[in-house]
Amino acid sequence: MAEQNDLIVDAPDLATKLTETTVIDVRWRLAGPPGRDDYAAGHLPGAVFLDLDADLCGPPGEGGRHPLPDPDDLQRVLRAAGVRAGHPVVVYDLGDGLPAARAWWTLRWAGHDEVRVLDGGFPAWVAAGLPVTTEVPTPAPGDITVRPGGMPVLDAAAAGRLAAEGVLVDVRAAPRYRGEVEPVDPVAGHIPGAVNLPTTDHLEADGRLRAADAIRSRFAEVGVDEGVRVGAYCGSGITAAHTVLALNLAGRTDAALYVGSWSEWITDPDRPVA
């Protein structure tokens, strides 16, 4: 299990601070069913459900399948969920860490610094024998002011440059990177110059993040050394957010996310495909 810090928290530690923390349930699956059904069946006490697609991302289009949200819309959603300035937030999912990492990244991008991911998600909470409820809370309105810019972001042009001048990591499974299969987007392949390092390489068998030293060593194998600029992309900026979380755990707080990712890259036929 990865060490405790300002990025992740384990279930027993969260349980001791539950009443002092805004907890957000972002359980989600790319192909469904909706995570709201999981939430209704049982969730952490006091947790508020947010829909990753509708609440934390903008509408799909030329910016990709999960573009950045409108700041005013995001602020409205977060305040309704009880998110307050200077008050800790913990996000959790089904255990793979992907939607939780994107929620973590989005809140950090919005200027909220005290956000952590529940390591192992809802399954880790249940495995620890901690309480689950079906009661839906009514949180007091939050006061967060969304200030975009809290996390490094790449647009398509910057991603292309980084692939040539630094290390741009494609975190999708190797067959998708190689263009052998493409189950989601209409074009197969990858951004020229990008290297492949699937986000699963940063996970233990139970879905928790590996230790920082192990993550750091794995990234070094693909050229992510000290002083080398690094960014990540995937299909639509969800899985890559998890890789940015892993990079932050390894000390690379400058790691950038190409939010539009492959689903945006391929909207312009003039962009090259490898």
Local structure of residue 145 (DSSP, 8 states): -
| Residue 57 is among the residues annotated as catalytic for this protein | no
What are the Cα distances from residue 274, in Å, to 27, 43, 190, 231?
A: 33, 43, 5, 18
Nearest C-alpha neighbor of 65 from the set 262, 269, 252: 262
- CB count within 10 Å of CB 200 equals 12
Separation of alpha carbons 126 and 131, rounded Å: 7
| Phi then psi dihedrals of residue 216, to 5 deg | -60, -45
Of 234, 245, 246, 249, the active-site residue reads: 234
| Tokens at 65, concatenated | 């399948």
Give the residue numbers annotated as catalytic, written as ranges.
234
